[in-house]
Chain A
Amino acid sequence: MKLIFHIWRQRDGRSPGRMVRYEQDGLNPDMSMLEALDVLNEELILKGEDPVVFEHDCREGICGSCGFMINGVAHGPLSKTTVCQLTLRHFDNGAELYLEPWRAKAFPILRDLMVDRSALDRIIASGGYISTPAGSAPDGNAIPVSKEAAERAMDAAACIGCGACVAACPNASASLFTGAKIAHLGLLPQGQPERARRALRMVARMNEEGFGQCTNIGECEAVCPKGIRVEVISRMNRDFLKASWTARRAGAD
C-alpha cells in the first residue's frame, strides 16, 4: 500500500522546523506505523539524508517511549493504541498523514518528533510514591485490600507516562497523568499516610513545570492509550482541596 507522510523536521530546540513530504510505496498493511518509519529511515540513510528522529523502545505499547500526533490526534486514530502498535491496515491506501511531535511548553522539542518529557519524572519525584525503605514492610497479607480497590488502583496505575494526554489537551495540562498517580496510591490503604502531602506537592510541581490547568475538556481520556478515565482528575482535585483546607487550618492553629 501507499502512504504520503508529512513529517515535522527540526534539527534542535533552537532551529526552526518545517513539514517535509515523503511518499512511501510498497508498504505492508500488517506493518506498524513505526516500522513504516523504519523503512523510510533506511531509504533516507542510503540517500545520504538524515533519518527521522522518533522515540521508541519496547514496541509493545508499555514502555511509553513512543508517541506523536497523526493528523492532529495523539497516537493516531485507533483508540487505546500507541503508535508502535498501530498497524497500517487502519489507514486507507494513499492516505496523507501529518506527523508532528507532542507540542507543549513543558515538553521542549529536542529533534524532529522527539521531545523532552522529564517534567513528568519531576512530578513523580515530588510525591508520587509511598515511602517504604527496603526491609521495612510487613507481611503482604497483613494489609488486606479489597478486590475492587485493587482493580481501580490498577486501572489508574496502568499509565505509561507517554505524554499523549498533555499533547491532546488544549491547555497542555498534565492533570490526567498526575491524577492517575494520585488515584492509584490514594485508593490503596498503603497510600493513606502521605495522601494529603502527595496531592499538595504533585499539584504544585505540575504547575511549576509549566503545564496548563484542567478545564474539563476530556481530550486526554479520549487519546489515552491505557484508557485512564478523567475521574482520576476529580480525585486529584478532591485530595488537593481537602489537603489545602487541612493545611490552612493546621497553619491557623
Chain B
Amino acid sequence: MPIAGNIEAAGRWRAGSLSLDARAPGGPIERAWDKARFEMKLVSPANKRKHEIIVVGSGLAGASAAATLAELGYNVKCFCFQDSPRRAHSIAAQGGINAAKNYHNDGDSVYRLFYDTVKGGDFRSREANVYRLAQISVQIIDQCVAQGVPFAREYGGTLANRSFGGAQVSRTFYARGQTGQQLLLGAYQALERQVDAGRVKMFPRTEMLDLVVVDGRARGIVTRDLVSGAIESHAADAVVLATGGYGNVYYLSTNAKGSNCTAIWRAYKRGAAFANPCFTQIHPTCIPVSGHYQSKLTLMSESLRNDGRIWVPLNKGDKRAPNEIPEAERDYYLERRYPSFGNLVPRDVASRNAKAVCDEGRGVGEHGLGVYLDFADAIARLGRAVIEERYGNLFEMYQRITGENPYQTPMRIYPAIHYTMGGLWVDYQLMSTIPGLFVIGEANFSDHGANRLGASALMQGLSDGYFILPYTLGNYLAGEKFEKADPLSPEFREAQDAVAERTRRLLEARGRRTVDSFHRELGKLVWDYCGMSRNAGGLEHAIGKIRELGEEYWREVKVPGAAKEINQSLEKAGRVADFFELAELMCIDALHRDESCGAHFREEHQTPDGEALRDDARFSYVAAWQYNGGDPPLLNKEPLRFEYVHPSQRSYK
C-alpha cells in the first residue's frame, strides 16, 4: 500500500520493516479464543511461584491482572504513582460497563456486541480481539457480582441495565454514576487480599521511569520512589504495563492530573511499537471551560444522553435564557440529523456535531462553547424522583461546579478529551513488539479501533486483566528459558543512569517558566491542530511548533527543589517532557493517515453532509510506529481484514 509520496518525502517518517504478526488464531471466530487457549503452553503450579512478574499501574487492568496472577501462584510486584492502588483513574468512570448478557431479552448477543464495537470503531480494530472481548464481557459481570460490586438491581433482585451511546440494546450494567469506582474497588480488594497473603508486593508512590530490555526481552523497570526520591531497579521475568491513556497531552482533559504517558513512552523508546497514536477520543458531555486557570475538565456521564435532549438555539447569537426560547426556535440537531439514534449517536459523531453548531455561532454560555442538555421533557414524563434516582449524583456534581440547578435549567456541555484508543501495539496475546512486555487496558491500542463506544473501556480493562493476560503470560513464560535477571547488570545500570541524567537536566535547567505554563501551551497546540478535526497544513504547522516549544522546554523550564525529596514539580516535569515527544508522533500519525475514520477527522475527507470519509483501500491497517533514535520514526503496518463485519460507511441515521 503506497502512501502519499509527497508527504513521506518531506521526511516526517520512513518505512519500517517490523513483521507484525498478530498471532490471531484462524478458523471460525466464535471458536478462536477456545482454540488459542487450548494451544497455549501451561506453567505448572510448582513453577509459577518461581516467576517474578512486574505489573505497572493499579487501575482496572493492572489491579485485576496483579490479583489474578497472584491467585494463580505467581510472585507479583505492583507499582502505582498514587498513594494507594485504589486511586487509579479508572475510579472516575461513571456510566457503566457493557456485557452481552441479553438479560433484557432485547436481541443482544455476543455477536451483536462484537458487531457494534467493530462498527463503532469505524473498522480500524482487529476482529479476533473484539470478538474475544465480547465473549468475555459476560464473565466479567459474573466475576464482579461475586466480588460484591453493588450493581443496580430491579425489584425482583435481578441486575438492571441501561442503554448507552452507539447501541440500540440495553446492555450496560451500572452502579449509580460510580461504576468505575465500584469495579475498581472490587479489583483493589482482590489485590489487597493478595497483598495480605504475601503474593503481591505493592509499591505505591513509585513511578516507572524506564524499561529494561536484556537480550531482546523485557526484564525489568527503573523507578523513582516519590517520597525519598531514590532511583531503583526491579528485575522480573516479564513486565506488564497497565498505565492507562495519554489524554493529558492536551493539558485540559477529563483525565486525572497525574495520568501520563511516561511508562509507555519509555517502552516505545526501548523498542515497543506505538500504534495509532492519533486516535484520541473526545467525549461529548463535559462541563464547558470557565476560565484560563482551569486545571481539568469534568465529565458528565454519557448515560445522561439517555434521557437528556441536546439542543442549541435555531438562530445565531440568541442570548436569551434557555427557558425563554420557545420550542419552535430550538434545534434538537442530533434528533434532526440522526432520527434512528437521535441523542445516542456514538461519541465522535456527537462531539463533532457540537463543535459544528458552535462554529456556526449557535453555541451557548459565556464563551459560546457549549450546547444544552435538557431534562425538562424527561422530568415531565418520568417525574423528578426517577431522574434523581438515575442521575442524582451527576446533577449534584454539576450544580456544585457551575452553581446552576439542572433540574430547573438545562445543563451546558461541551466535548473534551477523554480517552485514547491509540497505545502500544500488542498482538492477540497482548504482547508488545518487545518479547516479555505485555500491555493491557487503555495503554494498549487493541480493541476500540478509531473510536471507543461508551461503557467499553471498563469492559476491556477487566477483560485483559482477569481473563486474558493470566493465560497469555503463562504461555510466554512456559515457552522461554529464564536465568535470574541481575539488577546490577550493564543494561539495568545504563537505564538507571539515563533516568538520573534526565532528572539532573530538568533540575539544572533553572529557566524562567514553570512546567505547567509549558504544558498548557503544548496542550493548546495539540487541541487546536490534532483535536476534534485536523488538516494537513495545521498538522505540519503543529509539528514545527511542538519541536520549537520542546527545545525551549529543556532550556527554560524551572523545576524547584531537589531530586532526593518529595518533589511534585519534578514529577510533572518528566511527564511533560515525554508529552512533548508523544505530541509530535501523534501529529505525524494524523498527518500520514490521509483519511477520516472514527475520532480521527481529517477535514480534507468528508462526505457532502460532513460525515467522516474512510479510505479503506489505502488505510485499512494499524499504523505501528517504531522509534528511530533522533531520525524520523518508522511506519510499520498491520493490515486489517474484515471477514465478519463488512466495512461500510457508518450510518446512525
Contact = CB atoms under 8 A, between A and B. Distances in A.
**Are A and B part of the same complex?**
yes
A146 B157 contact: yes
Interface string A97-114: 000000000000011001
Interface stretch (A131-139, A168-176, A214-222): A131-139
Nearest to B175: A154
Given A129-B189, A143-B145, A51 B568 contact: yes
B155 interface: yes
A68 to B, nearest CB: 14
A178 interface: no
Interface in A25-49: 28, 30-32, 34-35, 38-39, 42, 44-46, 48-49
B142 A139 contact: yes
A85 B148 contact: no
Nearest to B196: A125
A231 interface: no
Contacts, number: 219
B256 A63 contact: yes
Interface string A171-209: 000000000000011001011000000000000000000
A152 B171 CA distance: 24
A151 B175 CA distance: 9
A57 B157 CA distance: 36
B147 A110 contact: no
B144 to A, nearest CB: 8
Contact of A134 (B85, B86, B296, B470): B470
B320 to A, nearest CB: 23
B87 A65 contact: yes
Contact of B148 (A48, A110, A190): A190
A175 B187 CA distance: 23
Contacts of B139: 135, 137
Interface residues on A, range: 35 or more
Interface stretch (B379-387, B421-429, B557-565, B622-630): B557-565
Contact of A51 (B151, B178, B560): B560
A49 B181 CA distance: 37
Contact of B294 (A35, A65, A151, A184): A35
A38 B146 contact: no
Interface string B51-80: 000000000000010011001000000000
Contact of B142 (A61, A137, A157): A137
B83 interface: yes
A129 B192 contact: yes
Contact of B401 (A50, A62, A85, A116): A85
A39 B293 contact: yes
A147 B153 contact: yes
A145 interface: yes
Given A35-B293, A38-B516, A64-B87, A125 B566 contact: no
A48 B560 contact: yes
Contacts of B196: 125-126
B146 A132 contact: yes
Interface in B216-271: 227, 256-258
B569 A60 contact: no
A116 B11 CA distance: 50
B293 A38 contact: yes
B5 interface: no
A238 B245 CA distance: 44
A53 interface: yes
A145 B257 contact: no
Contacts of B204: 118, 121
Contact of B157 (A42, A118, A121, A147): A147
Interface string A71-85: 000000010110001
B82 interface: yes
A12 interface: yes
A59 interface: yes
B158 interface: yes
A145 B158 CA distance: 7
A129 B147 contact: yes
Given A65-B87, A121-B192, A124-B192, A38 B150 contact: no
A125 B195 contact: yes
A81 B568 CA distance: 24
A134 B560 CA distance: 46
B147 A57 contact: no
Nearest to B202: A121
B159 interface: yes
Contacts of B89: 57-58, 63
A161 interface: yes
A130 B516 contact: no
Contacts of A48: 560
A64 to B, nearest CB: 6
A80 B397 CA distance: 10
B516 A129 contact: no
Given A85-B400, A128-B189, A131-B193, A140 B142 contact: yes
A120 B290 CA distance: 36
B148 A191 contact: yes
Given A56-B257, A59-B257, A137 B175 contact: no
Contacts of B146: 130, 132, 136-138, 143, 190
A124 B186 CA distance: 11
B84 interface: yes
A96 interface: no
Interface string B118-154: 0000000000000000000001011111111011111
B185 interface: yes
A95 B96 CA distance: 41
Interface of B: 64, 67-68, 71, 82-87, 89, 91-92, 101, 103, 139, 141-148, 150-159, 175-176, 178, 181-182, 185, 188-190, 192-193, 195-196, 202, 204, 227, 256-258, 290-291, 293-296, 298-299, 396-397, 400-401, 403, 466-467, 470, 512, 514, 516-517, 558, 560-561, 565-566, 568-569
Given A154-B175, A190-B145, 9 more contacts: A42-B516, A62-B92, A78-B400, A87-B401, A110-B227, A116-B83, A121-B86, A137-B147, A146-B155
7 contacts: A31-B293, A51-B568, A55-B83, A64-B87, A135-B143, A140-B101, A140-B141
6 shortest interchain CB distances as A-B pairs: A144-B157, A137-B146, A129-B189, A125-B192, A137-B142, A125-B196
